[in-house]
Each structure stands twice: as structure tokens, then as C-alpha cells.
Amino acid sequence: MNNKVIYLMLGIIIFLAVDFISINFGLWIGTGPCETGIVTSAISILCSTIVICTCIIVDEIRKFNK
């Protein structure tokens, strides 16, 4: 598989996992999903972006060191 496809799939999985955990945490503390939806989506997007960028940087460093 192409590395870009792997990074995209990894980003989608992390986005969904963090979004699911964040909404359930909101329900657990009693705020409900309506009030935390925007915040959890922003957190999920940031986490996915950080992981994808880190993977790309590590991949480029590996290519440079060979």
C-alpha cells in the first residue's frame, strides 16, 4: 500500500476513536453530547493532524538517512 493511503486510514481511525471517546466522556461527566460536539470535533481533528504529520516527518527522516 502507498504510505499516503496508510496515513489517511490512520487519521480516520484516530479521528473516529478520539471523537467517540470524547463524546462518551462528556456523557459520563453529565454535560451531554450537544454541548461538547464542537470541542470534541476540534480535538479529534487536531489529534489526527498531529499523528499524520508525525508519520510523514518520520517517513521523510527515514528516507533521508538511507
Annotate 10-49 with DSSP letters as a single string. HHHHHHHHHHHHHHHHHHHHT--HHHHHHHHHHHHHHHHH
Cell of 60: 521523510
Residues 27, 51: Cα–Cα separation, whole Å: 26
pTM comes to 0.63
Domain that holds residue 10: 3-65
Check pLDDT > 70 for residue 45.
Answer: yes
| Model pLDDT for residues 4-35, shown as the tens digit of each residue | 788 888 888 888 888 777 777 766 766 665 66
Number of domains the chain contains: 1
